[in-house]
Amino acid sequence: ALRGVVALDGPSGTGKTTVARKLAAKLGAGYLDTGAMYRVVTLAVLDAGVDPLDADAVAALARAVRCEVATDPATPGARLDGTDVGETIRTPRVDAAVSAVSAVPEVRELLVQRQRTLIEEVAREAGGVVVDGRDIGTVVAPDAPLKVFLTASAEVRAARRGAQDTAAGRETDQAAVLASVERRDRLDSSRVSSPLRPAEDAVEFDTSDLSIEQVLVALTELASTRG
């Protein structure tokens, strides 16, 4: 039932999102950025003045707002109640609150359900879909024929995140970026509800010393045999 689904999991700064989009484009498949969905809900929480730690209020808001993400790897984008929030969801304010929001079980149930529906739709329409997240291989699409888990050292990941921020014109403080990356991974890995961890049958890649291009070559090869 899950033909053509590539589950791509791992912490931030592993090159995961760049690799996922390029892989999808190369395979002519769709792309689903599940992190963007959690980010849109987090932005809604912050904009509404709701405390990200107030699980009941966060769950109620998640049910009330409309969050949409684009599924074409060439044109990434996200909308909150129809408004373009593609840039705003990448700000440090959202980075700081997204782990708390995504740890709320009701938020996860709601988004996982939507992700499964989207995966089926996009896989059917595009012939395949690359899904970028933390729990895709373990929870969202445990039947995916190809599961990949990307890792990299915290320093390398912080450097990549910092470079992304600089490229996007945001001011960066490398020590703050490292602290933020480490904090988010700690929270994501230790949460009770579907923590960040590799699926047992995932192929693990340490990307610390690999270029995006090298990772892409390896994954394209794997996808052609297992996708």
Sequence-ordered list of residues with C-beta below 8 angstroms from that of 179, at least 6 positions apart, any chain? none
**Residue 138 binds to ligand C5P (criterion: CB under 6 A):** no
Here the tokens at position 149 are 């888990």
Closest CA to 140 of 1, 18, 7: 7
By CB under 6 A, tell whether 38 contacts ligand C5P: yes
The amino acid sitting at 200 is E
Which of 98, 146, 181, 202 is the binder for ligand C5P (CB under 6 A)? 98
Which residue, 149 or 224, is less far from ligand C5P as judged by CB?
A: 149
Footprint of ligand C5P on 176-195 (CB under 6 A): 184, 188
Shortest Cβ 74–ligand C5P spacing (Å) = 19
Near ligand C5P by CB under 6 A: residue from 102, 138, 151, 207? 102
134 binds ligand C5P (CB under 6 A): yes
- Closest CA relative to residue 65, chosen from 54, 81, 51: 81
Question: Which region holds residue 90: left if phi is over 0, alpha if psi is between -120 and 50, else beta?
Answer: alpha
List contacts with ligand C5P (CB under 6 A): 12, 34-35, 38-39, 98-99, 102, 133-135, 184, 188
